[in-house]
Homo-oligomer: A and B are copies of this chain.
Amino acid sequence: MTTNSRRQFLATTAAVAATPLLTDLVQAQTPGRKLGVALVGLGSLATNQIAPALQKTRNCRLAGIVTGTPSKAEEWKKKYNLPANSVYTYDTMHEMAKNKDIDIVYVVTPNSLHMQHTLAAAAAGKHVYCEKPLEISVERCQKMIDACKKAGVQLGVGYRLQFEANNLECVRLAKEKVLGDVKIIDATFGFAIGDPTQWRLKHDLAGGGSLMDVGIYCMQTARMITGEEPNWISAAETKTDPVKFKEVDETISWQMKFPSGVIAHCLSTYGANGFRGFRVGTTKGFFGLEPAYYYGGNRGKRSDETEINIPVADQFQTELEDFADCVATKRPTKVNGEMGLQDVKLLMAVYDSIKKGRPVTL
């Protein structure tokens, strides 16, 4: 699967609502300028998801770019009618401090560059929204949190599913015990990755493989559904292609226990297709989504034969509008740096269990 086909994989059933939304009405009634967002890193996600989403947001807009590729700079400048002084390279992005058009910096670079670009943005006085995982170590995540705190700017993590109605409906079913008490969470996500030269397969840039990239969704599901933090993790890794996956993990299966006794049974893979959802087992039945983690088309079912299939707007639009509202109204984002750090802490515990060959307690 190439980078392109990975994007298609995630976007396969992308459903973009064309009907007028409440947000449109709010926009019409809200005077004032849209917040400016600068994108750092113009890869597939920024190109195909985030930039188009920014064209739809009611309260923010694409106001700048940071890229190391001159041809991309030209292309984007033309396509999005950006002024020359809003186009930066990684070496000049500190100059953003002087650019009043930019309020928010959205970091979409490879995982291990998140800290560097977040620190630069915070130093320039910009609020930061950063793609998941927040970074590749707990220490680096903490430095990002500290830098944003010191600069007096917000730090958000791109957990779009925290705003996705079908995922939130499952959280409600769990919390309100609609189908009884939650006992087991089975969450799996993965795909057969293509291009062997991509950064996702390089340890220095990705910090890990399938676990860091897609396993984090299962981690988020388990935390969202239980509302708890795991205190015990046991993990196992397997590699069927040790050449392609020389530097990072191919497939990881792990279990987590929560204080309430709930167990989460999770799997991430770059080695095979077919895993893309979760099922929650309860005392009275079950509920879950498949797909659960796509850019659109997430849907599922409940054991009482009720379908879960809530139409949703563009997920990137929704998360960006929420973060822009947070910045505008000084409301703290719910997808904050601490949430991102906690996931990285748990992912590192998974790796630690594999390394030690035994369960780890937290």
Q: Which chain A residues have a beta carbon within 8 Å of chain B's beta carbons?
A: 181, 183-184, 186, 188, 190, 192, 232, 234, 236, 238-240, 251, 253, 255, 257, 260-263, 265, 267, 269, 271-275, 279-288, 303, 357-359
State the main secondary structure of chain A at its contact with B: strand
Q: Which of A190, A239, A257, A272 gathers most chain B CB within 10 Å?
A: A272
Asked if B288 and A274 sit within 8 Å, CB to CB, the answer is yes
Chain B residue numbers with a CB within 8 Å of A240 are: 181, 183, 260-262
25 A-B interface contacts by CB (under 8 A): A184-B190, A184-B275, A186-B275, A188-B279, A192-B283, A192-B284, A234-B236, A236-B263, A236-B359, A238-B263, A239-B261, A253-B255, A269-B281, A271-B281, A272-B281, A272-B283, A273-B281, A273-B282, A273-B285, A273-B303, A274-B279, A274-B282, A274-B286, A357-B358, A357-B359
| Interchain CA distance A255-B261 in the complex, whole Å | 20
Asked if A183 and B271 sit within 8 Å, CB to CB, the answer is yes
| Interchain CA distance A104-B251 in the complex, whole Å | 46
Chain B residue numbers with a CB within 8 Å of A358 are: 357-359
Residue of B nearest to A274 (CB): B286
Asked if B359 and A251 sit within 8 Å, CB to CB, the answer is no
Chain B residue numbers with a CB within 8 Å of A255 are: 236, 253
Q: Which of A181, A281, A303 gathers most chain B CB within 10 Å?
A: A281
Known: A236-B255, A257-B236, A260-B240. A274 touches B285 (CB 8 A): yes
| Interchain CA distance A352-B251 in the complex, whole Å | 24
**Interface contacts beyond A238-B262, A238-B263, A265-B267: sample of 9 additional A-B pairs, CB < 8 Å, sorted by A:** A183-B192, A184-B272, A188-B279, A238-B257, A253-B255, A265-B265, A273-B285, A274-B281, A274-B303
Chain B residue numbers with a CB within 8 Å of A267 are: 184, 186, 265
Chain B residue numbers with a CB within 8 Å of A238 are: 257, 261-263
- Minimum-distance CB pairs A-B, first 10: A274-B286, A272-B281, A240-B261, A183-B272, A274-B281, A238-B263, A253-B265, A253-B255, A236-B255, A358-B358
| From B251, B275, B279, contact of A275 by CB (8 A) | B279
